[in-house]
Amino acid sequence: MDSRDDTPSRSVAHLTSWLVVVALAAVAFVGTVTASNAAVGLDGASQESLSIPRWLYVATGGAVIGASGLLASFVTDRRFIESIHSWRRSLGDGRTVRRGGRLALSVLGLLLLSLTVFLGFTGPQVPTVNFAIVLVFAGMRAGFTMTTYLFGNVWPALNPWRTVAELLPKGFVTYPKRFGRWPAVAGLLALVWVETATGVTRLPSSLATALVVYSVLTVAGAVLFGPDDWFDFVDPVSVFFAFYGRVAPLTWTREGLQLHLPGMRLVEDGFVDELADVAFVVALVWELTFSGFVTTTAGASFVEGLAGLGLPPLLIYGVSYLGGFAAFLGLYLLAARFAANYLRTYRSARELAVRFAPPLLAIAAGYHLAHYFGFFVSLSPSLVTVLVSPFTPSPNPLVLSLPAWFGSLNVVFVLLGHLFAVWAAHSIAYGLFPSRLQAIRSQYSFVLVMMLYTALSLWLISLPTTQPPFL
């Protein structure tokens, strides 16, 4: 153990730590402003080019993450690092409120699912006014997911399939724990593929059919294996919200509702504990990257170019989708292998991959916010309309036109997600290694991967958007 780790006087150590944090915030602010200035006019990117070279725009974002990683390396006071991610404030017992809220949310979940399926089949087959389309994609895919990582996860109470499964005989077969969350990984990839490559986003009846199939499979699985195992390991939607909920500042414990700093629960050990969990986290990052790519002019040109050679468009999308996920996961595992070899530590590459994976959830949250915030705001009037009067669709749905500066927020969201991820990785490193030098060096390859993710995401949000061809 490095005897120098905790020997400086506490006053000097705390003063140094606070100065570094202020410097980190200053660099983040300067970098964000620079990137935002470079992003002026992104809302009209389909009509005009960026006024600043794209390579500079992307490099700026990558440099912010690299600089933040270097600055975080100077925050070496273990007590200070521990105080940041272990800070908690109790907001009261709230058990009565929790029980009542859970019952209300359970009823609401059943009602919304029933309305979604019914109006998906019987409502107007126009996506902008149909209750099913607007609720699922503007309300759940965008809005509810944002509330999950910005505030807290209430999906276990809202989940209509769990509500039904809890009322039925259950637990006939023991779930084989050796499978871990690999079924959830496969399920998430399948759901994103259905969303991207089929007509569920445009055809309400197709969405309703998909929901019926999903409902039958989910309830049957929960009854067969038991709701706890099914929704903890197999159901991709439940795992999706559970993982995103780790980023949020609010959580329910046995003591009641607790408040903590955003993203700091990612430092806790236990919820990501095997490679299947790592794959699920990486899939959350990749699915947003893929969605961003196929909706840009560069992605459209790529697909059209290969289709011009005679390749089936769906094959192109499928190979790109699965190949990109394999590349993202492989790159992350390679970073873990490099860290283990470079440090010559007794900790395996697998252990490092598992422990450093949770910070990627902060990156995924930043990606999601950049990808869906404008979409949610612009469709929020339509969402309110269908919720207030689901059986009388508006003949003229209101869609907000966003100002040009809204595009700059996308850059801010991406960078903030990465900055939270860098700090979480820093805290994890100091929890893993007794040596200060090892703790700092263990982060190098992972910060490099984060920088690559940053550059790619900033490049994608700087590109003009278009309708994906052949879909």
- Tens digit of pLDDT for each residue in 138-148? 999 999 999 99
As a three-state string, the secondary structure of 58-85 is: HHHHHHHHHHHHHHHCCCCCHHHHHHHH
**CA angle, residues 207, 237, 185, in degrees to nearest 5:** 110
Task: Tell me the average pLDDT across 276-281.
Answer: 97
Q: Is the model more confident about 427 or about 213?
A: 213
Other C-beta atoms within 10 Å of 351: how many? 15
- Residue whose entry in the numeric block shows the structure tokens 């949250």: 365
Q: What percent of the chain has pLDDT over 70?
A: 83
Rounded Cα distance, 4 and 360, in Å: 31
- Tens digit of pLDDT for each residue in 340-391? 988 877 889 999 999 999 999 999 999 999 889 999 999 999 999 999 999 9
246 pLDDT band (50/70/90 cuts)?
very high
Rounded Cα distance, 289 and 430, in Å: 30
pLDDT at 183: 97
- Tens digit of pLDDT for each residue in 175-213? 998 999 999 999 999 999 999 888 899 999 999 999 999
Rounded Cα distance, 380 and 395, in Å: 16
Is the confidence at residue 129, as pLDDT, over 50? Answer: yes
Which residue in 412, 362, 363, 454 sits closest to 29, CA to CA? 412
pLDDT at 240: 97
pLDDT at 360: 94
261 pLDDT band (50/70/90 cuts)?
confident
pLDDT at 9: 35
pLDDT at 73: 61
449 pLDDT band (50/70/90 cuts)?
confident
pLDDT at 147: 96
Rounded Cα distance, 439 and 436, in Å: 5
pLDDT at 26: 33
Is the confidence at residue 82, as pLDDT, over 50? Answer: yes
Provide the b/e sequence for 201-231 (b: ≥16 CB within 10 Å): bebbbbbbebbeebeeebbebbbebbbebbb
**CA angle, residues 76, 82, 83, in degrees to nearest 5:** 110
Is the confidence at residue 327, as pLDDT, over 70? Answer: yes
Quote the tokens at residue 336: 């873990």
pLDDT at 411: 81
158 pLDDT band (50/70/90 cuts)?
very high
Other C-beta atoms within 10 Å of 48: how many? 9
- Tens digit of pLDDT for each residue in 386-413? 999 999 888 888 888 888 778 778 888 9
